[in-house]
């Protein structure tokens, strides 16, 4: 705790006043004894001088008191300003944090909204893809059935064409047909092209499997020879 010189001086003065009062009473009681009074008067004088000195110290302390108080007030004011500046800085920081939290909350809401839109878009795309896959599957099934039907129809047409060609050959030239039945032609796929070869025996029927050049082949069509003036049958084959 800081010393208070004014309070100390006043305390000393109060003690001196009490001592003087006590001495005055003793002097009044001892006035009848001159030998004792003089030393007491001298003591009173010493005390009085000491009191005067203390009074001077008190006045000096009181004179210096405003300066020390002013310095303390200045220090307190400076600390108060520093605390106010610190409080303002903290308040500004708090406002910045509040603004940042608001922006973060808004960004979270925006992200959540975009995420919800993305999820909805993904669900929509999934449903569309599923519908498309089902449509494609249905179309592929229909196309496969149509292809089978067309293949059967083509086979029937080929068979009918072959039958008509054979009947036409039989009616037009029986002898020539008999000679031609001993051989027939084959329209063979080779690499990126085709070739026509002559085979022994009558032409096999559509759907028959034959072996030629080490390959298994399927007869898909029997028709007249593509060569001019040739009444023999020609088979069209594909690899098995």
* 60-111 pLDDT, tens digit each: 776 676 676 668 778 877 887 888 788 788 878 888 888 888 898 999 999 9
Bridge partner list, 217: 210, 239
What is the average pLDDT value for the chain, to the nearest integer?
A: 79
Tokens of 233: 């049958």
- The 3-class secondary structure across the chain, one letter per residue, is CCCCHHHHHHHHHHHHHHHHHHHHHHHHHCCCCHHHHHHHHHHHHHHHHHHHHHHHHHHHHHHHHHHHHHHHHHHHHHHHHHHHHHHHHHHHHHHHHHHHHHHHHHHHHHHHHHHHHHHHHHHHHHHHHHHHHHHHHHHHHHHHHHHHHHHHHHHHHHHHHHHHHHHHHHHHCHHHHHHHCCEEEEEEEECCEEEEEEEECCCCCCCCEEEECCEEEEEEEEEECCCCCCCCEEEEEEEC
Q: How far apart are CA 36 and CA 39, in angstroms?
A: 6
Q: Where are the domains of the chain?
A: 5-92, 173-239
Q: What is the CA radius of gyration of the chain?
A: 67
* Tens digits of residue pLDDT in 117-128: 999 999 999 999
* Tens digits of residue pLDDT in 163-222: 676 666 555 554 444 454 689 999 988 877 888 999 999 999 999 999 988 889 999 999
> Crossing angle, helix 34-172 and helix 5-29, to 10 degrees?
160
């Amino acid at each position: 705790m800081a010393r208070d010189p004014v309070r100390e001086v006043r305390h000393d003065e109060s003690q001196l006043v009490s001592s003087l009062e006590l001495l005055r009473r003793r002097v009044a009681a001892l006035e009848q004894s001159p030998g004792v009074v003089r030393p007491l008067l001298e003591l009173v004088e010493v005390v009085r001088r000491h009191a005067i000195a203390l009074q001077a110290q008190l006045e000096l302390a009181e004179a210096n008191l405003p300066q020390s108080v002013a310095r303390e007030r200045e220090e307190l004011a400076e600390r108060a300003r520093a605390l106010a500046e610190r409080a303002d800085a903290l308040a500004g920081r708090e406002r910045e944090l509040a603004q940042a939290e608001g922006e973060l909350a808004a960004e979270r809401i925006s992200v959540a909204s975009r995420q919800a839109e993305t999820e909805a878009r993904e669900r929509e795309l999934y449903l569309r893809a599923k519908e498309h896959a089902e449509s494609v599957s249905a179309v592929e099934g229909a196309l496969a059935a149509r292809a089978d039907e067309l293949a059967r129809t083509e086979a029937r047409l080929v068979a009918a064409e072959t039958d008509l060609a054979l009947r036409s050959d039989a009616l037009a030239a029986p002898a020539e047909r008999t000679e031609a039945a001993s051989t027939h032609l084959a329209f063979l796929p080779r690499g990126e092209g085709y070739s026509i070869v002559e085979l022994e025996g009558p032409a096999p029927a559509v759907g028959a499997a034959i072996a030629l050049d080490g390959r298994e082949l399927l007869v898909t069509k029997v028709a007249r020879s593509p060569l001019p003036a040739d009444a023999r049958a020609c088979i069209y084959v594909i690899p098995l």
